Amino acid sequence: MACGFEAVREAFAENFRRRRELGGAVCAYVRGEKVVDLWGGVRIKSTSEPWNEDTMVIVHSTTKGLAAMTLAVAHSRGWLDYEERVSRYWPEFAQQGKERVTVRQLLAHSAGLYALDEPVNRALVRDLDRLAAVLARQKPAWPPGSRQGYHAVTLGFYEGELLRRVDPQHRTLGQFFDDEIAGPLGLDVYIRLPGDIPNARLATLAPPRKRDMLFGFPPRLLLEVVNRRSKIVRALRGSELPIDTERVYARNLEIPAGGAVGTARAIAQAYSVFATGGAELKLRPETLDQLAAPAVRPAYGFFDECMKGEVEFSLGFMKPNAAWPFGSPAAFGAPGAGGSIGFADPTTAVGYAYVTSQSGVSVTGDPREVALRDALHEAVAALPIRRRVAA
């Protein structure tokens, strides 16, 4: 714990005393220096096994930020143009009215591809050629670019095939992340969890209380969640695939929109690289400038047809907005169901992540994480000028 960040430690302890935290970790880097690295509590509720320094847990849609990093690396290498049509790289994609969909629209959840008409199961996910054919023949739910709808599971599959097409080695997204981001940086986070990770390193997510589910969701979203035919329920089909009753999490299976397993330390360090110029990954300034730029508004606005609220997405990441003000306007990241989050803020040079073993239900920032983030923000604001980054 760096001097000046003691309030984050106090907020972490307060989470256990007052906010029903079970177990978890929080980590933050400022200008490339690790200033917060905390963990504690229980990793498995049923056994009360402790959360250790190297405990990893599933982070659900926080995975989306890690997946978006792979495409940012591809962009920096000149393999991918965010403004280009997806069909330039993936000709078969140009079916069912998708011929004009741009990479930017796809990554901003505005392509109308939030669900698949065909069943999503492990057999399909493991057969990438068959999965690509299913993705290519999916008809958009609306004219691409007109509306926004959270591609909760499908986004990662589309990103994975796009990356396979532009990568000269045609690697899967999980393999590319391991080879080009996690491996070089020495990160304990996987989009494709290998079989040799012992169960003893893995935490599980305890479900929230029923009363929390009833009163934690906004009423309009709650009505959608209990309606089996709603857009959000359809969008979430396949989200259960990473869970394995025998091995905690499925091994060697890629769900790039929601299946990552890792530590807060690893996720924060990855975002730290993106917040401080990206030299370790040879990211171009042009790429980082695009990630920091404001989200491009769909024709009918940022109202999300699946989430039933205002959300801003850009290039695979979530951007801060009035409902979820994490960091400065230049920040970008991704939250996950249950309460986890990771983000980079280039304005303050912050890389940050929080993970937990107790599922929360808030869709605009879990109170446990918000307390940590607020304490971090105050600590960063109080740093001497020489330790800050110019806006």
Splitting the chain (391 residues) into consecutive groups of 10 residues, what average pLDDT does each group show? 95 97 98 98 97 98 98 98 98 97 98 97 98 98 97 98 98 98 98 97 92 71 82 96 95 98 98 98 98 97 95 98 93 97 98 97 90 97 66 36
The per-residue pLDDT for 79 is 98
* pLDDT at site 390: 40
Distances (CA, A) of 286 to 33, 75, 293: 24, 9, 11
* pLDDT at residue 214, as a whole number: 63
DSSP strands (E only) in 21-130? 23-30, 33-44, 49-50, 57-58
Q: Does residue 195 form part of some domain? A: yes
* Cα distance between residue 254 and residue 153, in whole Å: 11
Confirm whether 1 is domain-assigned: no
Sign of the torsion angle spanned by Cα atoms 8, 12, 13, 19: positive
- The span from the CA of 152 to the CA of 140, in Å, is 15
The confidence score (pLDDT) of residue 176 equals 98
Q: Is residue 119 part of a domain?
A: yes
Let me know: does 115 contact 235? Beta carbons within 8 Å.
yes
Q: Which helix (H) or strand (E) holds 334?
A: strand 332-335
Q: Is 359 a member of any domain?
A: yes
Report if residue 246 sits inside a domain. yes
How far is the C-alpha of 79 from the C-alpha of 340, rounded, in Å? Answer: 31
**What per-residue confidence (pLDDT) applies to 212?**
73
pLDDT of amino acid 385: 62
Is residue 286 in some structural domain? Answer: yes
**Residue 335: domain span:** 6-387
- Tell me how many domains the chain contains: 1
Report pLDDT for 215: 64
Indicate whether 206 belongs to any domain. Answer: yes
Q: What is the pLDDT of residue 8?
A: 98
Give residue 128's pLDDT.
98
Count CA within 13 A, CB hemisphere, residue 300.
Answer: 15
Residues 6 or more apart whose Cβ sits within 8 Å of residue 212 = 360, 361
Q: For residue 16, give Cα distances in angstroms to 36, 55, 324.
A: 17, 18, 23
Residue 261 belongs to what H/E stretch? strand 261-262
- The pLDDT score that the predictor gives to residue 238 is 96
The residue type at 337: A
Q: Which CATH number goes with the domain that contains 236?
A: 3.40.710.10
Residue labelled with tokens 């999916």: 138
